[in-house]
Amino acid sequence: MPGFFVLEDRMSRAERLLQLMQELRLHRYPVAGQMLADRLGISLRTLYRDIASLQAQGADIRSEPGLGYQLTPGHQLPPLMFSEEEIEALMLGARWVANQSDPDLASAAQHLTAKVEAVLPDKLRHYLASVPLLVAPSRQLLPVQADMALVRQAIRRSRRLHIHYQDLKGLHSSRTVWPLAIAFFDQVRVLAAWCEERSDFRHFRTDRLGQVELLDSPYPGGRQVLMQRWRRHQGLDGS
């Protein structure tokens, strides 16, 4: 069972508690503790501690002898307390993402605001829906053909990408890169990456990307190490 305990160690406690609440929400009837533990990849002992921690924070989780645990129907997490400025910042950012990015990120922004709205007290929930900060439609953003969800997945997982690219002169090339970040500008988005063919950092406009392929092999060092190297290369490390 060594892999079981590795999974438990790698998941942060905060993430685990949120996932546990989500698992309980998905069940209308009591769910066995062992089933919950298996779903989260943790031991029963850890599950008992997590249940007690959530109950101490106000979650109405009931224990049904011989049946398991159930979140009281209609129960929500304790209200999140935001200032009006914080809500404005959240909504402005979400609206910008929904307007300026690809469909997957736009959908994620909408789901994010829905999740926040679900746990806000009534007064803040009403303000969330009427934040008077708007994002003008972008008519000049150049279209992107590449699968940007796949590019973001490569960045998160520190995986190599094989890309097809057309430069400003119209020349086509294919190369393997180590993607580390995407920069969003008014008209274009730019992928920052280490290029194996050039043995150097390169920046690729996403509207000039063609087919992208996620490779099985991770690049050495991981994204954080590569990001530090890129920042030094760009003179952004303060030195």
Residue 103 pLDDT > 70, yes or no?
A: yes
Residue 208 pLDDT > 90, yes or no?
A: yes
Backbone angles phi, psi at 201, to 5 degrees: -75, 140
- Structure confidence by residue, pLDDT tens digits, 17-30: 878 888 888 777 88
**Mean pLDDT score, 40-59:** 89
Cα separation, 169 vs 192, in Å, equals 20
Q: HSE of 234 in the Cβ direction (CA atoms, 13 Å)?
A: 14
Query: Which candidate, 41, 53, 47, places its Cα nearest to that of 77?
Result: 53
Which pLDDT does position 81 carry in this prediction? Answer: 60
Cα separation, 23 vs 83, in Å, equals 29
H helical segments located in the chain: 2-10, 13-25, 33-40, 44-56, 84-100, 103-118, 122-129, 148-157, 223-234
User: Does CATH number 1.20.1270 belong to domain 148-234?
Assistant: no
Query: Which candidate, 26, 19, 140, places its Cα nearest to that of 73?
Result: 26
Going from N- to C-terminal start, the domains of the chain cover 2-71, 84-129, 148-234
CA dihedral of 217, 220, 223, 226, whole degrees rounded to 10: -140
User: Does CATH number 1.10.10.10 belong to domain 2-71?
Assistant: yes
Residue 80 pLDDT > 60, yes or no?
A: no
Which pLDDT does position 6 carry in this prediction? Answer: 35
Q: CA 204 → CA 17, 30, 190, distances in Å?
A: 39, 51, 5
User: Residues near 195 by Cβ (< 8 Å), separated by ≥ 6?
Assistant: 175, 176, 177, 201, 202
Give 135's DSSP letter: -
Which pLDDT does position 68 carry in this prediction? Answer: 92
Q: Structure tokens of 12?
A: 């942060």
**Mean pLDDT score, 23-43:** 88
Residue 14 pLDDT > 90, yes or no?
A: no
Residue with tokens 């249940």: 51
